[in-house]
Amino acid sequence: RIIVGRWVGGGGRPGPPPPGPTRRAPLGLVAGARSGDKGGDANVGVWARSDAAWRWLAHELTTDRFRRLIPESDGLRVTRHVLPNLRALNFVVEGILGAGVAAQHRFDPQAKALGEWLRSRHLDIPETLL
């Protein structure tokens, strides 16, 4: 399993969010997402709606966490790109669509729903963000 992460664009990595109570809730309450494909690979962009949500998202949504939330990515190469000026993360999942769209018979052959699938997954989210 290969895990890659790098910062893209200006701005530094935000500090960790302050400690406090959390509540189990869907990621989509604090983040937007959009996904698509190129050949057999999927691309999932996730962005925070506020600076506070960005601080949490940048630390919480690691490549390992992404794999746990999207179990279909297990065993595949997942690359995480961090775009601080956009308060966004971009994940590229290589090979999740196999040979590509034309060769698929799966539910989401173009990975269009992958972002919404990620947003529906539950995490422990700071109550201050909800």
Give me the residue spans of the domains in the chain: 3-10+26-129
The reported pLDDT for the residue numbered 24 is 98
Using CA atoms, how far apart are residues 116 and 121, in angstroms rounded to an integer? 9
Residue 39 has a pLDDT of: 78
- The pLDDT of residue 110 is 59
Mean pLDDT by 10 residues, the chain (130 residues): 46 77 97 88 94 95 95 92 94 81 49 88 96
What pTM value is reported for the model?
0.81
Residue 64: other Cβ atoms inside 10 A: 12
Amino acid type, 53: A
Q: Mind giving me the DSSP string for 41-100?
A: EEEEEEEESSHHHHHHHHHH--HHHHHHH-GGGTTS-EEEEEEGGGTEEEEEETTTTTT-
Instruction: Give the containing element (helix H, strand E) for 110.
Output: none
